[in-house]
Amino acid sequence: METRGRGWLRPVQTAPLTEAQDRRIAEICPGLGQTVEAAGRPDPVLWGPYVSVQTGWATDPKVRHAGSSGGALSMLLIHLLAEGIVDAVVQTAASPALSIGNTTVISTLPDQIVAAAGSRYAPSAPLADLSHHLEDGRRFAFVGKPCDAAALRALIAVEPRYGQVFPVILSFFCAGVPSHTGGTEVLRALGTSLDQTQSFRFRGNGWPGRATAVLTDGSERSMSYHDSWGRILSRHLQHRCKVCADGTGIAADLVCADAWESDEAGYPVFEEAEGTSLIVARTHWGAKLLAEAEARARIRTEPFNLDDLVAIQPGQRERRRALLVRLAALWILGRPIPRYSGLQIWRAGRQNSLRKNLRNFAGMLRRTLMRQSTSSAIKK
Ligand SMILES: Cc1cc2nc3c(=O)[nH]c(=O)nc-3n(C[C@H](O)[C@H](O)[C@H](O)COP(=O)(O)OP(=O)(O)OC[C@H]3O[C@@H](n4cnc5c(N)ncnc54)[C@H](O)[C@@H]3O)c2cc1C
């Protein structure tokens, strides 16, 4: 995986692929498509199949504070290690080489999990070293974006030995991945630059937690989540994320998200609070792990009414409802579109008014035509 363009991680081909390798990529790459089967689980149109939905938080205040939301995801990882369910965790943390970038880390200790807690709104590639993990001999919990979780689950379906190496898959709701240009813009808005910044947190250390840069002279600059995500980062999402049918981690065992009381635009109605994660068990195995973590007093949960999610997650809601007409616009222009099956795209699209659907359709047409004319101008 290499950084390209405005700061995206892209796979770079280093050798010719065999026909079998090419076919395998087509089978598992979520960029090309995703298949979901509810298999008897409740399957709400916007949120996909689940076994249970609760809110919760890490009972350890240090973990709760470090997490993006309630630190539930990190505490689940600590639980999995403590109980010997896995030997190590594959997850994403700040890159030592690029303060606004990410690196994949292998964690075996609670302190390492806490150090990697908090959302990093930048490209990540936690599946890049998959074949090494296969040879490692240890069992891993995997943490990744919903698309990473979908790819791993699809791989396990065709190569079950990966299921033994990765017995647990965790994910989080994902509104899309901003480029490194987005992170650089946040630094600029803070009055600093990459050269002058020794470390950077996008979130965490509070709820929602401020985007915080520590400068080389030791001083700190920060801005609110509303300003960093809302005004800057969300404007630097890649195209593929705009036609994502699964921003809510349908393929994972357990998925965490923000469970806050929000305004119309989905931003929290408070400045800072003690964090609470939404915890969705997608599989019975995930629900069992969560129940065990709660029984060991590592996580505390409370009931949650799924009907409330539509107001808390406007970004996810709007993207799901807009997907049908966005895909239609791309199809009309002859652009590639992912093959989605079981993701209820028609039903989600019908939840939008005709006016909204037309607006989203026209928006995708306009953006795609603009991209086409920019790239042909560059080629000339
Ligand atoms: C790009 C992005 C978009 C998001 N969009 C939404 C959204 O639309 N709605 C919503 O409710 N929540 C969203 N989140 C997730 C949210 O910010 C919290 O991560 C989630 O609520 C879980 O909080 P927690 O305290 O339980 O997790 P924590 O205890 O903070 O654990 C977070 C875990 O995520 C991993 N991680 C962090 N960044 C990345 C990354 N870039 N790639 C892979 N793994 C990573 C860390 O390694 C850690 O294991 C997004 C997160 C990211 C990274």
The residue behind tokens 């001083």 is 219
| CB-ligand 1 contact for 92 (6 Å cutoff) | yes
| CB-ligand 1 contact for 277 (6 Å cutoff) | yes
What span, in angstroms and rounded, lies between the C-alpha atoms of 336 and 265?
31
| CB-ligand 1 contact for 338 (6 Å cutoff) | no
| CB-ligand 1 contact for 179 (6 Å cutoff) | no
Best substitution site from 8, 64, 68 to test ligand 1's pocket, by max atoms within 8 Å of Cβ? 68
| CB-ligand 1 contact for 177 (6 Å cutoff) | yes
pLDDT tens for the chain, residues 1 to 380: 999 999 999 999 999 999 999 999 999 999 999 999 999 999 999 999 999 999 999 999 999 999 999 999 999 999 999 999 999 999 999 999 999 999 999 999 999 999 999 999 999 999 999 989 988 999 999 999 999 999 999 999 999 999 999 999 999 999 999 999 999 999 999 999 999 999 999 998 999 999 999 999 999 999 999 999 999 999 999 999 999 999 999 999 999 999 988 887 777 777 788 999 999 999 999 999 999 999 999 999 999 999 999 999 999 999 999 999 999 999 999 999 999 999 999 999 999 999 999 999 999 999 999 887 776 665 55
| CB-ligand 1 contact for 50 (6 Å cutoff) | no
What span, in angstroms and rounded, lies between the C-alpha atoms of 323 and 325?
6
Q: Residue 36 CA to chain centroid, in angstroms? A: 18
Closest ligand 1 atom number to CA of residue 89: 49
Nearest to 179 by CA among 367, 4, 19, 27: 4
pTM to 2 decimals?
A: 0.96
Domain ranges across the chain: 17-312, 320-379
Nearest to 59 by CA among 230, 275, 340, 240: 275
What span, in angstroms and rounded, lies between the C-alpha atoms of 225 and 68?
11
What span, in angstroms and rounded, lies between the C-alpha atoms of 249 and 277?
14
Helix 284-295 with 72-82: angle, nearest 10 deg: 80
Residue 204 alpha carbon to ligand 1 centre in Å: 10
The residue behind tokens 């791309």 is 330
